[in-house]
Structure 1
Amino acid sequence: MSETDRRNGEESIRVERGREVTDGLAVDTYRGEGVEGAPIVVFVYGGAWESGARGQFSRWALDAAGRGPASSRTESDDTASEDFVAVELEYRLSDEATFPAQIRDVRACLSWVRENAERFGGDADRVAVVGHSAGAHLAMLAALAPENAFGGEYDPEPTVHAAVGISGPYDLRADSDEDGVVRRFLGGSEEEVPERYAAASPVTHVAADAPSTFLLHGEADGTVPVESSEAMAARLEETGTTTRLRTDAGADHVYLHSSYWYPEIRESVFSWLDERL
């Protein structure tokens, strides 16, 4: 389905919803008027791997695609930023299938994005993933794990050029899992399926060829502790990966979507992506 969103009576953004990737798997694309060959930002929603859907990042995607056409910028405008095109992907939830179905779906969508980039104004050689919570986990796993790490027809080389994780769990082996969310996602306890806990933890896949990474976390996060991002950043830095860590005092697990935090966090992420893509 296609629709056009007009921002402040000026910028037109073409939104293509439900673009088929495989049978039962689709993405939404967002493209500013006249944009061609732009860096691509792929958003991965959260929800403890058992809730969430495309549309959760629509505000972010509209703003990513609505930064203004290149023709409106001047050579003297040193603060001008390049346009993005945005994609919201989807994946099966844990009540439908256990791991590694979710990461296979994410990688299938990323493969579709690269193969079809020109159809929605994107540059396949400049792809970033941005995820929140469980989506941050899947985004980082997609960016870090090697080719064919999870088997299946769709597990290509993870060509991701920059990765952003917000409020994400990156070592599932360290999760107390009091509510059973991780057990449902991985199909058992760590004692029952230890290999899944290791394979599903992005921290175990960190290597010297990791893409530049920006991790953000609220210090008042009561769902995933800030130490998750701190430990992940330290591991990335050990390998020489270009890494930025931002922690915010008083911010909770979903602060990236709050009216108070959103403008600042969005600009922090978009400015960093400007530098990396």
Structure 2
Amino acid sequence: MNETDRTDAEETVVVERDREVTDELAVDIYRREGVEDAPVVVLVYGGAWESGARGQFSRWALDAAEAGFLAVEIEYRPSGEATFPAQIRDVRTCLSWVRANADRFGGDADRVAAVGHSAGAHLSLLAAVAPIGSFGDEDDPEPTVHAAVGISGPYDLRADSDEDGVVRRFLGGSEDEIPERYAAASPVTHASADAPPAFLLHGEADETVPVESSEGMAAKLSEAGATTELRTDAGADHVYLHSSYWYPEIRESVFSWLGRTL
């Protein structure tokens, strides 16, 4: 069911929840009243591909809308329900819906950025860099992304020690069993000059996904000739983008980059 309400803090920001994309997928839309042709920020939550939900990025979405973006929180099936490539196909389905409907909510379909954290960063970058048809989606509308932001993301699943089995559950087996799937699911293998501009952020004290993940992805994109920016933060952990201490600075850094790029 669709629900429309206003935030308590800002009467000008309207939130439209549970907009149906498919029978299985829905999105939440955050927009400032009266905005037109706004750049679109599509927010993709983390949670090791097996947890997380819309609402995780609500603080970011509200602030993005107040800053003049059209913000859309999307969702995807968890790995306990379906293994890869279900998640990237869901993300691309939502991206296609966002582009097709952006003008209805005051957004510009030709200025769309995917912004994700952790597993959501992985899916955001994969959606941005992998060619259409890589995951059996040849017949889908092209979900063009014009920029991508990844925060604390794992970008080479082949390099993951996977001590807790998260990647095996996500991909449906070990690397020895399905090496081609590990390669296809790793954004680093799709780096090319055709990739849209990317901004990667990572905490140097991240004990969940090491900072070398973003450093390696940035290097691959730069070597391929894509426009890339990397920010690493000393003392920051895996979820620093949501902390009261780091949030204002990281938000400003991301919004400023998006404003320059889109």
State the TM bucket, normalised to the shorter chain: over 0.9
Identity of aligned residues (%): 80
Given candidates 184, 188, 201, the residue that maps to 2:186 is 201
Instruction: Report Cα offsets for 1:220-254 as digits up to 9, x if no partner.
Output: 00000000000000011111211110000000000
Using the size of structure 1 for normalisation, the TM-score is 0.92
1:163 counterpart = 2:148: yes
Letter in 2 for 1:5: R
1:116 match: secondary structure? helix
CA distance in 2, matches of 1:209, 1:271: 23
RMSD of the alignment, in Å? 1.2
> Which structure 2 residues correspond to residues 36-185 of structure 1 after superposition, within 5 A?
36-67=36-67, 83-152=68-137, 155-185=140-170
| Letter of the structure 2 residue corresponding to residue 46 of structure 1 | G
8 A Cα contact 1:5 1:14, kept in partner? yes
TM-score for the superposition, normalised by structure 2:
0.97
Partner Cα separation in structure 2 for residue 120 and residue 153 of structure 1: 28
For 1:269 and 1:5, locate their aligned partners in 2 and report how far apart those are by CA, in whole Å.
Answer: 24
Residues 183-194 of structure 1 mapped to structure 2, 5 A cutoff: 183-194=168-179
Find the counterpart in structure 1 of residue 6 from structure 2: 5
Contact 2:99-2:143 within 8 A present in 1 as well: no
1:273 maps to which residue? 258
**What is the CA-CA distance between 1:11 and the residue it aligns to?**
4.3
In 1, Cα distance between equivalents of 2:209 and 2:29:
29
Name segments (4+ residues, structure 1) moved above 2 Å. Answer: 1-8, 152-158
Question: Where does structure 1 lack aligned partners over 5 or more consecutive residues?
Answer: 68-82
| 3-state SS in 2 of match to 1:129 | strand
- Tell me if structure 2 keeps the 8 A contact 1:149–1:155: no
What is the number of residues matched between the two proteins? 261
Alpha-carbon distance in structure 2 between the residues aligned to 1:243 and 1:51: 29
Quote the Cα distance in structure 1 between the aligned partners of 2:143 and 2:75: 17
Query: Aligned equivalents of 2:119 and 2:235: distance in 1?
Result: 21
1:228 aligns with 2:228: no
Would you say the 8 A contact 1:146–1:158 is kept in 2?
A: no
Structure with greater Cα Rg: 1
Residues of 1 paired with 2:249 and 2:139: CA distance?
36
1:153 & 1:172 partners in 2: Cα distance?
Answer: 24
Q: Give 3-state SS (helix, strand or coil) of 1:22's partner.
A: coil
Q: Which moved more, 1:15-24 or 1:255-264?
A: 15-24
